[in-house]
Amino acid sequence: MANIIMILYYFISLFFVLITIKNLIEEKKSRDRIILYLLTVIPFILRLLRFK
Amino acid sequence: MKNKLFRFKIVWGIIFAIFILAGGYPLYRHRHYSVQLICGPGVTEIKKLSDYFPPLKDTMADTTIFVLQGKEPGGKALILANTHSNEPEGMLAVTIMIEKAVVEKGTLYLIPFFNHSGGVNTRPGEGYPLYFSIPTPWGKKTFRMGNRDASPLDQWPDPDVYIHYPEKQMLSYLDIRNTNRTWPGRKNGLPMEQVTYAAMELLRKEKVDLAIDLHGAETMFPVTNCIVAPEKSMRIATLASLTVKSMEGFENHLESSPSKFRGLSHREIGDYSDTLPFLLECPIPFLDQPTGPKTEKLLLDGKDSFLLSLAKKKKLFVPYDQSGWPIEKRVGQHLSVILEIIKQYSRKMPARAIVIKDVPRYPELVKNGVGYYFSDPTKVDPKKIVNQ
């Protein structure tokens, strides 16, 4: 069961990476939001790369 | 405006990518760094923990067991180190035994990295170094500094409350990844429960007489500089403690294993097998909270001015002065207490005696240092090197 949850978590991480990058690309006005998207995506990338 | 924003995105995207790589790559390297262990003349066989529980095979939870079998049959002892990988004194003591010990009678099972996943985990949030190096006559030997618990990359998610098996005691959620809370283990449990289950299988199948689990603790914690033993091991622990105190001159007291605190090796091994368990604690100033920066130097020499001022106010549970608590003292204490427990058991049970030679004791470690006992890996037969 724990393994299934762990695998699902990687898919959830991937989903958040993709949706955040999509928002980042589509952002047309706010520089603050760009920084916010970049900050938000860090832990998900670290987990996907199995760094931490 | 559109172009400017695009440039902003590219520039900051690159800066964040550099952050991720600069922060993440050292952690990746640490997780895949191998420590070179050199098999000495006493090592007769190399096994894996998965030999006793195959589901662990090819996982980060599997670990190497060094078997040192004497020519004469006798008793058997298992020595576990790096149950908590941020307490590396035990691992250094076992590494010295792997290189130097020769067993004349009986059998030793040595596991230098019991919680292997914990050994590849880190604690950068508290400023722990990723590695530490021991000076030797031929250079430096570098080891990974690990963490108390297994890596969440290997076992996740944690439960809200960890319910111990089979005693059903409620413990901290984090302790489900702590191999000194998951004894006696569970066959179909989470990986760390399987690690302790595999070790129990080893104890039961090999009919091991003694299990010695090596730890370290804060100087501000009362359970330090001691042997923790349940009722059935207390007689031998008492004799060993008194002997090292009188013969080798270092403090070492006894702590009784609490029967109502479950999951610990010194409790569950005794309750769920015929083996006599012992848990050894030595003081590690590095682990105390009120210290200066958690540097490699503090880990090795144990010198800290904050602890010194606390010692003057009698707030520590161990003697502490300007000389700190260097690693050679801590490793030497572990080696002397291990040898003394084995000696006392052998006296009491001559038919199951274990006779070991060529392992240095406390005075030799204090005199020569830890690195003196490590061989240069470039000058030994590559077949004798085990990467762990």
Neighboring chain A residues of B153 at a CB cutoff of 8 Å: 50, 52
- Residue in chain B lying closest to A48 (CA): B153
Of B16, B122, B157, the CB nearest to A2: B157
pLDDT at A3 over 90: no
**pLDDT mean across residues, chain B:** 96
Neighboring chain B residues of A20 at a CB cutoff of 8 Å: none
pLDDT for res A1: 79
- Residue in chain A lying closest to B28 (CA): A51
pLDDT at B236 over 80: yes
Q: Which residues of A touch B (CB under 8 A)?
A: 2, 5-6, 9, 24-25, 27-29, 31, 34-35, 38-39, 41-42, 45-46, 49-52
Distance from CA of A43 to the nearest CA of B (A): 9
pLDDT at B374 over 70: yes
- Residue in chain B lying closest to A23 (CA): B9
To 5 degrees, how large is the angle CA B300–CA B302–CA B308?
165
If we measure between CA atoms, which residue out of B316, B323, B272, B319 comes closest to residue B302? B323
Distance from CA of A36 to the nearest CA of B (A): 11
pLDDT at B1 over 70: no
Of B5, B12, B28, the CB nearest to A51: B28
pLDDT for res A2: 80
pLDDT tens for residues B180-216?
999 999 999 999 999 999 999 999 999 999 999 999 9
Neighboring chain B residues of A46 at a CB cutoff of 8 Å: 20, 23-24
pLDDT at B295 over 70: yes
- Residue in chain A lying closest to B124 (CA): A52
Specify the residue for token string 């890996």. Answer: B377
Neighboring chain A residues of B149 at a CB cutoff of 8 Å: none
DSSP string, B36-80: EEE--TT--EEEEGGGTSGGGTTSTT--EEEEEE-SEEEEEEEEE
Label residue B297 by pLDDT band (50, 70, 90).
very high
Distance from CA of B156 to the nearest CA of A (A): 6
For the domain covering B45-379, report its CATH number.
Answer: 3.40.630.10
Tell me if B157 and A35 make a contact (CB, 8 A cut-off). Answer: no
Mean pLDDT of B277-296: 97
DSSP string, A1-52: -HHHHHHHHHHHHHHHHHHHHHHHHH--S-HHHHHHHHHHHHHHHHHHTT--
Q: How many CB pairs under 8 A join A and B?
A: 52
Note whether B6 contacts A: Cβ–Cβ < 8 A. Answer: no
Query: What are the boundaries of each domain within chain B?
Result: 45-379
pLDDT tens for residues B21-62?
999 999 999 999 999 999 999 999 999 999 999 999 999 999
Helix then strand then coil, % of chain B, to nearest 5: 40, 20, 40
How far CA B386 is from CA of B34, B139, B140, B327, in Å, comes to 9, 19, 18, 24
Neighboring chain B residues of A38 at a CB cutoff of 8 Å: 12-13, 16
Note whether B379 contacts A: Cβ–Cβ < 8 A. Answer: no
The interface residues of chain B toward chain A in range 106-125, judged by CB-CB distance below 8 A, are 122
- Residue in chain A lying closest to B2 (CA): A28
Mean pLDDT of A36-42: 96
The interface residues of chain B toward chain A in range 152-171, judged by CB-CB distance below 8 A, are 153, 155-157
pLDDT tens for residues B71-103?
999 999 999 999 999 999 999 999 999 999 999
pLDDT tens for residues B299-335?
999 999 999 999 999 999 999 999 999 999 999 999 9
Neighboring chain A residues of B8 at a CB cutoff of 8 Å: 31, 34
pLDDT for res B50: 98
- Rounded Cα gap, residues B64 and B198, in angstroms: 12
pLDDT at A22 over 70: yes
Note whether B315 contacts A: Cβ–Cβ < 8 A. Answer: no
Label residue B124 by pLDDT band (50, 70, 90).
confident
Strands (E), chain B: 36-38, 45-48, 64-69, 72-80, 102-111, 131-136, 139-144, 162-163, 170-171, 210-217, 226-229, 253-256, 276-283, 355-357, 385-387
Tell me if B12 and A27 make a contact (CB, 8 A cut-off). Answer: no
- The pTM of the full predicted model, rounded to 2 decimals, is 0.95
ipTM: 0.92
Percent of chain B surpassing pLDDT 90: 97
- Rounded Cα gap, residues B212 and B266, in angstroms: 9
Indicate the pairing of strand B131-136 with strand B355-357: unpaired
Mean pLDDT of B332-357: 98
